[in-house]
Chain A
Amino acid sequence: AQSVTQLDSHVSVSEGTPVLLRCNYSSSYSPSLFWYVQHPNKGLQLLLKYTSAATLVKGINGFEAEFKKSETSFHLTKPSAHMSDAAEYFCVVSGGGYQKVTFGTGTKLQVIP
């Protein structure tokens, strides 16, 4: 069994300030973890993924996430928010023989000019 919890449904930051989107997971397997971004009325784009290699993962557009097994967390960060970062972000866990995927409920990021 597996699950993922995104702790904040909405996050609001000022442009140029750091971004932190929180994600906790549970899994009976050694999970793979992903962050996806969805802009309004668009499909999903992969930001980054963790697959049991380096625990600090760097993704596109300056985002990174750190896998912390002891805390069962995979928080997404960015040093400086840009207006174009405003979107919905989904944390995803994948595991098991068929790599079943479970989505978090999403965090809507608002960037204030």
Chain B
Amino acid sequence: GAVVSQHPSWVICKSGTSVKIECRSLDFQATTMFWYRQFPKQSLMLMATSNEGSKATYEQGVEKDKFLINHASLTLSTLTVTSAHPEDSSFYICSARPGLAIGREQYFGPGTRLTVT
């Protein structure tokens, strides 16, 4: 149980185009979903937190107009990288949490590798 999927697993796009990444909780309802970015050989950096039906909360330094997050249902969140540039190339990982109860761990997706040429 507690499986999170991401689609696509990897994507190559041209500079200036937009890319959408989907994150789905397959066997549970995710009250909260998180989006992370991981640079090579580095830790995960939290980009934003989204609660179903409300606007995402972005971390300091993350451009909300560039990284559009939508959490329209309890099983789906999407991250759209708008007007992508080579510096946006990275490994993007989402996670989902079933509820707000203290100590509820997050379940991570397998990640999406984005390469912008």
Chain B residues contacting A106 (CB-CB under 8 Å) are 42-43
Bound: A49/B2 CA distance, A: 16
Are the CB atoms of A46 and B44 closer together than 8 Å? no
* Chain B, 41-70, CB within 8 A of any chain A CB: 42-46, 49
Chain B residues contacting A14 (CB-CB under 8 Å) are none
- Interface size of B by CB at 8 A reads 24
Scoring B residues 76 to 93 as 1 if CB is less than 8 Å from chain A, else 0, what string do you get?
Answer: 000000000000000001
Partner-binding segment picked from A17-25, A65-73, A75-83, A94-102: A94-102
Per DSSP, chain A at the interface is strand
In the assembled complex, the CB of A88 is this many whole angstroms from the nearest CB of chain B, namely 9
Chain B residues contacting A105 (CB-CB under 8 Å) are 42-43
**Identity of the chain A residue whose Cβ is nearest the Cβ of B45 in the assembled complex:** A103
Are the CB atoms of B110 and A43 closer together than 8 Å? yes
Contact of B102 among A46, A90, A99, A102 (CB under 8 A): A99
Are the CB atoms of A90 and B49 closer together than 8 Å? no
Q: Which of B32, B111, B113 has its CB near the most chain A CB atoms (within 10 A)?
A: B111
In the assembled complex, the CB of B115 is this many whole angstroms from the nearest CB of chain A, namely 14
Known A-B contacts A43-B93, A100-B49; the reply to A34 vs B43 at CB < 8 A is no
Chain A residues contacting B111 (CB-CB under 8 Å) are 41-43
Asked if A12 lies at the interface with its beta carbon under 8 angstroms from chain B, I say no
Chain A residues contacting B45 (CB-CB under 8 Å) are 103
Chain A residues contacting B106 (CB-CB under 8 Å) are 101
Q: Which residues of A contact B (CB under 8 A)?
A: 30, 32, 34, 36, 41-46, 49, 51-52, 90, 94, 98-106
Q: Which residues of B contact A (CB under 8 A)?
A: 32, 34, 36, 42-46, 49, 93, 95, 97, 100, 102-111, 113
For this complex, 12 residue pairs linking A to B, each with C-beta atoms less than 8 Å apart, are A43-B111, A44-B93, A44-B108, A52-B103, A90-B43, A90-B44, A98-B32, A99-B32, A99-B100, A99-B104, A102-B46, A105-B42
